């Protein structure tokens, strides 16, 4: 009985450590980002129609960071693949990097 009483007293404090902003939340976000960027890079390089000369690591990192922005670990766990929000993040990063849809990486300065 004493053990149960002790657990009831300690449990709320222990569970508070599992909330948003906790070490678990931060570890999940880091793991999620690493996995998402790696998957994005691998999938992009394996796509036959992928434009040449694109820095996939940079594009995928930018896209994943934008997609994760402001989301909790719980929200990230609920994400569905290729949502309109994710596609918009990719589009914004590609535009920022000067990648033309269907055209690949921008031409080098001077047209070379």
Residue-wise pLDDT for 8-65, tens only, equals: 433 333 334 445 568 889 999 999 999 999 999 999 889 888 888 899 999 999 999 9
- Domain locations along the chain: 22-45+53-98
Residue 42 zone, left/alpha/beta (φ > 0; ψ -120 to 50; rest): alpha
How far is residue 112's CA from residue 107's CA, in Å, rounded to a whole number? 7
How many Cβ atoms from other residues are within 10 Å of residue 39's Cβ?
A: 13
The dihedrals phi and psi of 21, each to the nearest 5 degrees, come to 90, -5
pLDDT in the model for residue 108: 44
Cα dihedral 45→89→62→39 (10° resolution): -40
């Amino acid at each position: 009985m004493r053990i149960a009483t002790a657990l009831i007293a300690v449990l709320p404090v222990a569970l508070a450590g599992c909330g948003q902003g906790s070490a678990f939340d931060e570890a999940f976000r880091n793991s999620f980002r690493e996995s998402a960027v790696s998957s994005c890079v691998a999938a992009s390089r394996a796509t036959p129609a992928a434009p040449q000369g694109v820095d996939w690591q940079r594009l995928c990192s930018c896209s994943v960071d934008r997609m994760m922005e402001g989301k909790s670990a719980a929200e990230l766990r609920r994400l569905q693949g290729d949502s309109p929000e994710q596609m918009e993040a990719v589009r914004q990063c590609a535009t920022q990097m000067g990648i033309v849809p269907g055209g690949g990486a921008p031409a080098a300065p001077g047209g070379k």
